Structure 1
Amino acid sequence: MRGVKEVNIDLVEGGVSTVSVVADRELTDGEVEGVLHAGGAFALARVDAMSFLGSTTNAPDLAVDVLFFDGAEELDAIGPWEVLRFWAELGDRRVDVRAVSLDGKSVRCAKGLTVDVDGSLGDRPIDLLIVPGGRGADILAGDLEQVGRISRLAEQGATMASVCTGAQVLGAAGLLDGINATTHWMARGQLQKSHPSARISSGERWVDSGDVVTSAGVSAGIDMALHLVDRFDSRAVAHRICSVMEYPWHPEARGEAVIST
């Protein structure tokens, strides 16, 4: 191509690169076309790479959802949610914690508290799901469609955790078979009857069976959530949260807070 000695490719919008070629002679049509093709491909590759990096740089290390549903016991869900939100603020890992419902709509909890949520169950890949108890848990445990959604999250690799009678929901999803678990002391007999292959603990605030973690009743969910911070981050971060919450957590002392009679 007569008169062409320099080719510049400046991808301003992408902001990634300028490709320049300076020749000591006039370039042929084929040479110019080759430079444009190679330079454009290089620039587009840089754009793709930068787009990928930009999409992952701010991605959390862990995605955590706390499930709320109609009839959920308030503290069962809010206690762990509070701990985990402190984790997102004070921890050494990037954690994204959301409140979710079955359909993404507001829910009315057992004592009448209405909760607006951030999303719906299963609308993103997660690493950890917290399932509370309450009278609504029995209804949820009997809903095969919703239980199936929870089961699929477990199959996809999420750690599943329950508070109080939320263990019945995990049991309905087939997640308690052959493992150690616990629940509210008043519900242990029913849980054992419903899931005879599970080994129900009678003296621990929480039980960590690996992919499934269960806690005793109501306030024990706070202890379990702190244990999860300890497990997924560090003991130091868990104690940092305890200090801010002024909560006396004993990671090695799992005795019951209330003696059943």
Structure 2
Amino acid sequence: MKRRKVGILLFDYVDILDFAGPAEVLALTANNKAEQALTLYKKELLPTRPFEVLTLTETGEEIKTHSGIKVKPDFNIDDSPDLDILIIPGGPLRAVQSITKNQRIIDWIINHRSIEYICSVCTGAYILGTTGLLDGKKATTHHLALKVLQEKYPEVRVLSDHKVVHDGNLITCGGVSSGINMALYLVEQILGKPAAERTAKTIEFVH
């Protein structure tokens, strides 16, 4: 089976759980029970795992998260390898608004419109909305940002009663920890329900 490259876009004041949740889920997903068991014992993840997770920032420089913890990315958006899946996490509204004004990043996201999946977590939907890719599609975000998202992007059908929303190759999810649900949903879509259930059990998450 194809090993998918998953790129997570980071930026200053991003919420840690928005990206760390999906990163852990996808990185710890294994192809079978035997490989899943090995992930609990080996220091290094198996090279056969179905998802390779990497992080990106605009410049490749270290960023400071919303909680003040600093993170050094793997790549900048210019030297990123080809991606199969792109994840756009969220953060405080002022932080995501800054990204929506960064045309270089917005264009970079738009250029990935034909990859297998583009996903947003929490207020990352606000960034995705700026690209126009959500126009005419269903989406969701953090419950406190639903009204803001709908007012800013009236062409988007914003849903308030869904934790994960899948429309075309776009997947959006609610606030913060919903990124874990979204990642498990991705695992189920790509590898099947048993793999998703196995991964959820590994991280002791009620899926």
Higher relative contact order (CA 8 A, sep 6+): 2
Q: Which residue is equivalent to 1:72?
A: 14
Deviations 1:47-89 (A, max 9, x none): xxxxxxxxxxxx9521111111111011111111111111267
The residue aligned with 2:85 is 128
Q: TM-score, normalised by structure 2?
A: 0.86
CA distance in 2 between partners of 1:158 and 1:219 (Å):
23
Q: Which amino acid aligns with 1:95?
A: F
Structure with higher Rg: it is 1
Shift of the 69–109 alpha-carbon distance from structure 1 to 2, 3 Å rule, reads same
Q: Give, as a single letter, the amino acid of the residue that structure 2 aligns with 1:98.
A: L
Matches of 1:161 and 1:86, distance apart in 2: 18
Q: Equivalents in 1 of 2:163, 2:91: separation in Å? A: 17
Structure 1 residues 143-188: Cα deviation after superposition (integer angstroms, max 9, x where no partner): 1121011111114x24110001100111111111000000001101
1:162-201, aligned counterparts within 5 Å? 162-201=120-159
Counterpart of 2:135 in structure 1: which amino acid?
D
State the TM-score, normalizing by the size of structure 1.
Answer: 0.69
2:39 is matched with none
CA drift of 1:121 comes to: 2.6
CA distance in 2, matches of 1:147, 1:199: 21
Q: 1:246 and 2:204 equivalent? A: yes
Find out whether 1:85 has 2:27 as its counterpart: yes
> Residue 193 of structure 1: CA displacement?
0.8
Asked whether the 8 Å contact 2:27–2:49 carries over to 1, the reply is: no
Name 1:94's counterpart in structure 2.
50
Alignment-derived partner of residue 14 in structure 1: none
**How much does 1:94 deviate?**
3.0
Summarize the alignment of residues 1-261 of structure 1 with structure 2, pairs less than 5 Å apart. 61-87=3-29, 90=36, 94-121=50-77, 123-135=80-92, 136-155=95-114, 157-249=115-207
Deviating beyond 6 angstroms after TM superposition, the runs of 4 or more aligned structure 1 residues are: none
Give the share of equivalent positions with the same residue, in percent. 34
**Which residues of structure 1 form unaligned runs of 5+?**
1-58, 250-261
Where does structure 2 lack aligned partners over 5 or more consecutive residues?
Answer: 37-45
Q: Please give the alpha-carbon distance, in whole angstroms, between the structure 2 residues aligned to 1:233 and 1:145.
A: 33
**Higher helix residue share:** 1
Number of residue pairs aligned between Structure 1 and Structure 2:
190
What RMSD over aligned residues (CA atoms) do the two structures have, in Å? 1.9
C-alpha deviation, 1:210, in angstroms: 2.1
SS of the residue aligned with 2:13? Answer: coil
